[in-house]
Structure 1
Amino acid sequence: MSDRFFYRANIRLKLFYAMLALIVALIAAINGAGHYIFNRDFLGYLNEQAQQRMEDMVPRLEQAYREHGSWDFIRDNPRAWFELMKPAIVEHNGAARSAGPTFTASDLTGATLRFSLLDASRRPVIGYPNVGPDARLRPLLQDDVIIGWVAQTPFESVIGALDLRFQQSQFAAQIIIAVVAVMLAAFLVVRISGVLTRPLTRVARATHRLASGDYAIRVEVESGDEVGMLAQDFNQLAMTLERNEKLRREFMADVSHELRTPLAILNGQLEALEDGVLQPDAQTLRSLKSEVEHLNKLVGDLYDLSLADAGALTYRRADIDLAPLLRDSAALYSDRFSQRGMRLSCELPASMPVHGDAARLQQLLSNLFENSLRYTDAGGRLQVHAHLQQQHWHLVFDDSEPGVPPEVMARLFERFFRVEASRNRASGGAGLGLAICRRIVDAHQGTIGASASPLGGLRVVVVLPARLEDERGSA
C-alpha cells in the first residue's frame, strides 16, 4: 500500500519523502555512532583516568600502613580514606610531595567513588562495596609481602544522574536537529521541486496539446540539463510530427489528384462513346488503354512504395550481371528516345557482377530511363556510363537541359515531388519513380544521389556493391 501511494504521489511529495528518509537515516546513524563512541571511547577514557589515579594512591597507602601497622586506622573512617585518595602536589623544585585539595580529571568523572581497599585476604576494608570479578586489582606491598589490595571497579555503563542528564541533553539536541532538518528538507523540496516541476509541467501540457493534434506547439528551453534536453527532444518530436502530418496531407492530395485525372479522362471518353461523340475505333481504344496503363502504373508504384516503407517489399537476390540489364533497358527505350529526337549512348564494361534482385534492379533502371525521357527537352541527350571504384559499381546517368535548382536537389527522391508543379501529365509523371529508386538501392546496401550534370541537366549516380570473383568462387 505504501509503495502504491509513493508511486502515485507527485514529484514534490516524492522528493520530500526521499529527503526525509535520508535525514532519518543520517540521524539514526549519527545516534548509533555517538552511542558506540561514548561506550568505547568515553568510558574507556574514564577507566584510564581511574587506573592512573589508582597508581598514584598505591605509594600513599603503603606509607600509611607502614606508619600504623594495620588497616584499622582507616576502617570505617571515610575522612582518612578520602585524604589518602587525594592527589599529591609536586612542588616546583620537585623536592617535596604532599597531599593537597587539587582536583583532577578522575575526581570530576567520579572515579574515586569506585575505588575499594581490601586486606591481604581480599576482604573489604573501606570504599566501593560492590567489588565484582571484573574489578582491577593492584597489590600493596611491604618488604615484598602483600599487605592489601586496591580495587577499581571499571565503568561499564552510564549510571549516574549527571550521566543521565548528559544523555537526555544529547537526545534533546538530536530531536531539535531532526526538526530543523525536516523543516530545511521541506524548504529545499519546495524550491527544488518548483525548479524541476515547472518545465515538466509545461512539457506535460504541451504533450496533451500535441496528442490532440496541435503539432505547432513548442516548449521553451530554459536550461541545458536533462529537463532542457527533454524539452529539446519534445520540440524535435513536434517538428517531426508536424512535417509528417504535412507530408501525409500532401500525399493524400497528390494521390487523389493523380487518381482523379486518369479516372476523369476515362469517364469523359466513356460518356463520349455512349453519346456517340466518339467512335469505338482503334485510336479511341488506344487512348483508353493508355489511361488504364497510366492508372495501373500509378497504383502499382503506390503499392510498391507502401511495401518498401513497411519493409515488406520482397527481394529474390542472386548473383547476376548488371551490364546486360542496362543494355536491355537502353534498347527498350531507344525507340522512344529517337521519337523525341534525343540521343542515348551507353559506355559500359563487359561485365558488372552484383548480388541482387534482377527484377527490382530492372525496375530501378527503367525508372531512371523514364525520368530522363520525361524531363529532358526534345533534341537533348542521355549518357550512361559505369565504372568500378573501391569494390563498388558507380552507374552514372547524365542528361541535358533543363537543369534542377540546387536548393531542391535533395528533395528529388521524395514521393510526389516534381521540380515544376505546373508540368502537365504528358511530360511529367506522378513523382514516384525516384522515390522507388531510392528504396530499391537502399535494399541493395547502395546509395543514390543527384547533382548537376556537365551536360546541363541532371546527374544521377547509383552506387552498388560489386560481387568480386573470389566471392563467386567461394560460393
Structure 2
Amino acid sequence: MNSSPRFLHMPSRGGPNTPRPITRPTLRYRPGMTLKLFIALLAMSVLVAAAMGAAARLSFTRGFLGYLNEVGVQRMQRLAPRLADEYREYGGWNHLRHSRRDWFRLMRPSSDDSGPPDTADLLPELTGANFRLGLLDADGQSVAGFPELTADALRQPVVMDGETVGWLALMPFQSLTEAADLRFLRQQRLASWFVGGAIVLLAAILAVLITQGLMRPVRGIAASTRRLADGDYSSRVDVATRDEIGRLGEDFNRLALTLERNEQLRRAFIADVSHELRTPLSLLRAELEAIEDGVRPLTQSSVKSLQGEVATLSKLVMDLYDLSLADVGALAYRMVSVDLVDVLDVTAAACRGRLLSRGIALDGPAAETPIVVSADESRLRQLFANLLENCQRYVDENGRVSISVSVEGLFATVDIDDSGPGVPQDSRQQLFDRFFRVEGSRNRASGGAGLGLAICRNIAEAHQGSIEALASPIGGLRIRVALPLAVPA
C-alpha cells in the first residue's frame, strides 16, 4: 500500500471541468415610453411641417410662373390694337422687318399728356415679358421680336377690319431665369426654411410638454403598482383628470382598496380559524394529559367530553370545507322541485327538541297549501337547520321562535322570528360575514364559530335567492329567506 501523501488533483487548465468565467449580460438601452412618445410627436410635426413647406413652395413657384405668363397675355391683348393701327398706317409689316427701333418703339409703355405710363404696360417690361414677345405675319412667319418661338407659344391675333393680319406670340415662362426673380425666389425659400425651423422648434417644445403631461400620471401609476406588488396595499394614486388615464387611476385605487380589504380579511380569517381550532385542541390535550397522568380517570363522562370536543372540531372543519367549496363554485347542488313547507316541517321537527331543552317554544310553519320551489332539498335543510341552531344558541331561555312562509310574486319568503335579544341595526348586515358575532367576544359558551350564517348566505345565493336580517315584531331578530318558485312544466 502506497503510504505517500494524497493530493487533491485539480482538473487541468482548459479541461472539461474548468469553471467558465462569469459573463455579465450586456445591458441594452431600451427607450422608455416618454422618449418614444416624444419622438413620435416630433416626427409627426416635422413631417407635417415638411409637407406643408413643400406644398407651399410648389404652389408658390407654379403660381409665380403663372402670374408672369398672365402678365404677358394681358400685354398681348393691350398691344394687339396698336399693332393693327401700325399695319393700317404702313400697309404691312415690312418696316418692322428691317427696323428694330420701330419694334421697340411699339413695345414701350403707352402714355399720354395726362399722366405717367399705364401700370399694366409697365409690368411686362419689369417682369421681362416684352423680351419674350414676337410678331408673326398672317402666314405664321417671324416678323420681329423674339425669334425662337415654338409651337407651344401663346398667340394673340392682330385683327384689322375683321381680317387677321398677324399674330402676337409669347414664349411662356417655364422657369425663373432673371436675377431679380431668382433673388425673390431665394428670399421666399429662406423665409420658408425659417418658418419651418420655427415650427419644428415649437413642435419639439409642445412634444416635451405633452409628453411630460401625459406620462406623469402614468409614471405615478407605475410607481404605485410596484409598491402594491411589494405588499404596500395602502398605495394610492392621485386622480386629477377625467380622461382614460384618470379612469385607469380610479380603477387602480379600487383594485388597491379591494386587495387591502382582502388582506385584512385574510389576516382576520387566519386569526379566527387558528383561535377556533386552538380552543377545542387545547381542551382535548388537557383532558388527555389529565387521563394520562391519572389525575382524571377514563370514565364514560370523560369519553363523552372528548367526543364533544371532537364533534366541535369536526363541525368547524366541515363548515370551513363547505365555505371553501362555495367560494370556488364547487359546492354541489341538485335542483329539483321541492315542497318548501315539507322541508320546513321536517327541519323544525328535528330541532324542536334542542330548543325545548332551553325552554324555547317553536311555532310553525303555518301553511295550508304546498309551496314548490326549485332547490336542493338537503341544502335547504342545512340552511334552515343552521338558522334554528343560531336561535337555540342566542335566544334567551324561555323565549319563542316563530316560522312563517308566504308567496310574494315569483318568490317564496320564509321568515324566522325570535323573541330576543335583538341585534343593533348597524350590525345586521355583518351577521353573514365569517366569524362575526354581535358580542364581539370569542367565548365559546355564547355560541359557535360564526360560520353558520355565512354558509346560509352562500346556499341562498346559490339558489338565486337572498337572505337578510331585519328587526322582529316579537322583539328579537328576523331572518328572511327568499327563494324563487319552481316554473311549472
Q: Which residue is equivalent to 2:454?
A: 435
Query: Is residue 410 of structure 2 the alignment partner of residue 394 of structure 1?
Result: no
Report if aligned partners of 1:348, 1:387 keep a CA contact under 8 Å in 2.
no
Stretches of structure 1 lacking an aligned partner (at least 5 in a row): 1-6
Q: 1:417 to 1:150 in 2, by over 3 A?
A: same
Distance of 1:192 and 1:101 partners within structure 2:
53
Distance of 1:82 and 1:390 partners within structure 2:
110
Q: Which residue is equivalent to 1:4?
A: none
Query: Is residue 319 of structure 2 the alignment partner of residue 301 of structure 1?
Result: yes
For residue 30 of structure 1, the aligned residue among 36, 49, 52 is 52
Q: Which residue is equivalent to 2:377?
A: 358
Q: 1:221 to 1:54 in 2, by over 3 A?
A: same
Q: 1:18 to 1:394 in 2, by over 3 A?
A: same
Q: What is the number of equivalent residue pairs in this alignment?
A: 460
CA deviations over 1:386-425 (Å, ceiling 9, x no partner): 1111211111111121111222222111111111132522
Distance of 1:215 and 1:263 partners within structure 2:
34
Report if aligned partners of 1:86, 1:99 keep a CA contact under 8 Å in 2.
no
Q: Give me the TM-score of the superposition, normalised by structure 1.
A: 0.88
Q: 1:353 to 1:160 in 2, by over 3 A?
A: farther
CA deviations over 1:270-305 (Å, ceiling 9, x no partner): 223323333443322322222222111111111111
In structure 2, what residue type is equivalent to 1:128? Answer: F
Q: Give me the TM-score of the superposition, normalised by structure 2.
A: 0.86
Stretches of structure 2 lacking an aligned partner (at least 5 in a row): 1-28
Q: Which residue is equivalent to 1:425?
A: 444
Q: Which residue is equivalent to 2:359?
A: 341
Query: Is residue 86 of structure 2 the alignment partner of residue 64 of structure 1?
Result: yes
Superposition deviation, residue 226 in structure 1: 4.3
Report if aligned partners of 1:27, 1:174 keep a CA contact under 8 Å in 2.
no
Q: CA RMSD in A?
A: 2.7
Counterparts of 1:30-429 in structure 2, within 5 Å, are 30-38=52-60, 41-75=63-97, 77-89=99-111, 103-349=121-367, 350-422=369-441, 424-429=443-448
Secondary structure at the counterpart of residue 94 of structure 2: coil
Report if aligned partners of 2:49, 2:200 keep a CA contact under 8 Å in 1.
no
Secondary structure at the counterpart of residue 479 of structure 2: strand
Distance of 1:460 and 1:140 partners within structure 2:
113
Identity of paired residues, percent?
48
Superposition deviation, residue 65 in structure 1: 1.8
Secondary structure at the counterpart of residue 448 of structure 1: strand
In structure 2, what residue type is equivalent to 1:30? Answer: M
Q: 1:196 to 1:24 in 2, by over 3 A?
A: closer
Q: 1:334 to 1:157 in 2, by over 3 A?
A: same
CA deviations over 1:6-26 (Å, ceiling 9, x no partner): x94334323422332232232
Report if aligned partners of 2:53, 2:196 keep a CA contact under 8 Å in 1.
no
Distance of 2:377 and 2:126 partners within structure 1:
104
Report if aligned partners of 1:342, 1:381 keep a CA contact under 8 Å in 2.
yes
In structure 1, what residue type is equivalent to 2:95? Answer: F
Distance of 2:356 and 2:330 partners within structure 1:
38
Distance of 1:99 and 1:238 partners within structure 2:
86
Superposition deviation, residue 224 in structure 1: 4.5
Report if aligned partners of 1:71, 1:125 keep a CA contact under 8 Å in 2.
yes
Q: 1:77 to 1:146 in 2, by over 3 A?
A: same
Q: 1:348 to 1:52 in 2, by over 3 A?
A: farther
Q: 1:224 to 1:462 in 2, by over 3 A?
A: same
Report if aligned partners of 1:86, 1:101 keep a CA contact under 8 Å in 2.
no
Report if aligned partners of 2:347, 2:381 keep a CA contact under 8 Å in 1.
yes
Q: 1:291 to 1:53 in 2, by over 3 A?
A: same
Distance of 1:441 and 1:159 partners within structure 2:
94
Distance of 2:388 and 2:107 partners within structure 1:
119
Report if aligned partners of 2:340, 2:370 keep a CA contact under 8 Å in 1.
yes
Secondary structure at the counterpart of residue 418 of structure 2: strand
Report if aligned partners of 2:344, 2:365 keep a CA contact under 8 Å in 1.
no
